[in-house]
Each structure stands twice: as C-alpha cells, then as structure tokens.
Amino acid sequence: MHSELLDRSYHFLNFLPSVSNFLIQKHKESELKVDEKGLYNLVTEADLKAESMILDEIQKNYPADGILSEERGKLEGKSGYTWVVDPLDGTTNYTHGLPLYGISVGVVETETMSPLLGMVFFPELNTYYHAIKGQGAFREKTQIQVSKTSALKDSLFVTGFPYDRNLSLDTLMQYYKSILQKSRGIRRTGAATLDLCWLAEGKFEGYYELGLKPWDMAAAGLIVLEAKGKITSMDGNDFSILIPSLLATNGLVHEYLLAEFEGKINRVAY
C-alpha cells in the first residue's frame, strides 16, 4: 500500500502546480463568471475547470480508482482507493479577490473512507502541505507538528460558518461568544483546508466547524493527524469525513472545547 500511495503522492505533488498556476491566472481576470449553488454557496468557472484538470489526470493515470468530488459527485472504482477532491476551497474568498483559497486532493480507503493521503496547495500563498498515513505531515519539505500550548487563555482558535448558517445561527453565536471570552481570540479565514493546515503547523490551537463536506476534511484532516493533532466530531465521536461536524486541536485543549459544545450541537440542522 505504501508504494502505491507514494506513487500517487509523487505524481500529484508534481502535477498540482499546473492547477495552481491556472487558478492564479484566472484570478487576475477582471470578469469571473460566478453562479450560485445556494444561499452563500458559489461556484465559478475556475472551480469547474480546475476540477476537470484534476479528475482527468486521475482517470488517465489511475483509472481503477474511485473519485468523490465537490462538483461532479461520485464515480465508483475497483482499486480500493477513492480520491476526494475540492478544486477550489474558499470560492467566496476567490471571487472577492482574496488569496486565501486552496486546492485539496486526498485519497481515502474506499470501504472505510479513512484518509490515507492528503495534499493541499495554496496557490497565492505559494506553499503546499502533504501527508501519507503513518509518515508524518509536511509543509513542502519541512516536517510540521501542532503547537504545545495547553492553556485555553493562551490559545488562538479558528472557525468557519456553514452555508446554511441561518438554520443554526443562535447555536453558532453561543459557541463563538463562549470560546472568545476564554481564549486569546478566534479567527476566520473562509477556507477549511487553510484552517486545518495552519493548525497542523502550530498557528492555531483548535478549529471547529459545522456543516463540512468530505472534501473539506479528507486531505487536510490527515495532515492534522500526521502532525500529532487530534480530531473528533464536535460531540466527541470518532473522526469521519462523512460526519459534518469537526473539532480539530493540538490535543492539549481538546477536552476544553468538547466541554464547550456539550449538549449544544444543533442536531436538527446537522
């Protein structure tokens, strides 16, 4: 298995810069075609083209693998591997001219949907992160680890808000207010993959969000785990990319945050 994952990792770490370059060039265009998939949920022509580039490369080189992607949905495979792809995480940032967006490509075990390989590129931040299960997490060629901060008052957190945020706005504000009062602060980047990768290299102590999708978590979630972080759902269940709530931390503040969410998860919306 390791050699198969290493081959896929090597191939895509060399291929994804071409997708990064495309997104950068497209971002410079004065008129970007934008459509609405739902309230607050945007898709651009750049999303669609970047996804086509990635999926075509997968199917050309690994035709037996399955694929789960944000825009095209699910394609079954026979190899036991499934690629989980978000061609442009942070589309709203992208449409507003912000550089905080990423390309997320992961490989999971098809039967369990457990992450095995993760690669996340941030084109305009000029960096990338990657991990193979059991082999550590890296920013480019440098191994990374989560922070060693253990006190809530010294911790910096990051969060995001789901597209259907109006269904759970009061709950979201309860979390935000309580954690903000007890910590050094809360940030919001607008890109889940960036939140997780920055957590993995110690910029944040914790990240939480409701309403996530598998492609938000598959690659960057593995990077956090391989950086010695801890991930569960927000109500303390085992990490799964199929559960749409996520709590990721350096492990040292995990129980503090679980206590914040106890009994308050909006199970109607999620």
Q: State the Cα–Cα distance between residues 43 and 254, nearest whole angstrom.
A: 34
Together in a domain, 65 and 88: yes
Together in a domain, 17 and 136: yes
pLDDT exceeds cutoff 70 at 40 = no
Q: State the Cα–Cα distance between residues 202 and 94, nearest whole angstrom.
A: 25
CB neighbour list of residue 25: distance below 8 Å, 6 or more residues apart: none
119 by Cβ neighbours in 10 Å (0-12 / 13-18 / 19+) ranks as: buried
Together in a domain, 136 and 165: no
pLDDT on residue 264: 57
Residues 19-35: what's their mean pLDDT? 82
**% of the chain with per-residue pLDDT over 70:** 89
Q: pLDDT by residue (tens digit) across 138-170?
A: 999 999 999 999 999 999 999 988 765 556 677
Q: Which two tokens stand for residue 201?
A: 């290299």
Establish how many alpha carbons lie within 13 A of residue 245's alpha carbon, considering only the half-sphere containing its beta carbon. Answer: 18
Decide which of 94, 122, 143 is a domain's last residue.
Answer: 143
Together in a domain, 157 and 242: yes
Poorest-pLDDT segment among 60-69, 164-173, 218-227: 164-173
Residues 200-221: what's their mean pLDDT? 96
Decide which of 92, 118, 143 is a domain's last residue.
Answer: 143
- Binding site members: 70, 86, 88-89, 216
Q: State the Cα–Cα distance between residues 212 and 41, nearest whole angstrom.
A: 13
270 occurs within a structural domain? no
Together in a domain, 173 and 134: no
pLDDT exceeds cutoff 50 at 267 = no
The Cα-based distances of 131 to 16, 27, 184, 224, 268 in angstroms read 15, 28, 29, 9, 35
268 occurs within a structural domain? no
pTM of the model: 0.92
Together in a domain, 7 and 43: yes
Domain hosting 230: range is 152-263
Residue 72 belongs to a domain with what CATH number?
A: 3.30.540.10
Q: State the Cα–Cα distance between residues 244 and 228, nearest whole angstrom.
A: 22
- Binding site members for Mg(2+): 70, 86, 88-89, 216
Residue 221 belongs to a domain with what CATH number?
A: 3.40.190.80
Together in a domain, 28 and 161: no
Decide which of 143, 165, 197 is a domain's last residue.
Answer: 143
Per DSSP, helices labelled H in the chain are 2-27, 45-61, 91-95, 169-182, 192-200, 214-226, 254-261
Give me the number of domains the chain comprises.
2
pLDDT on residue 38: 44
160 by Cβ neighbours in 10 Å (0-12 / 13-18 / 19+) ranks as: buried
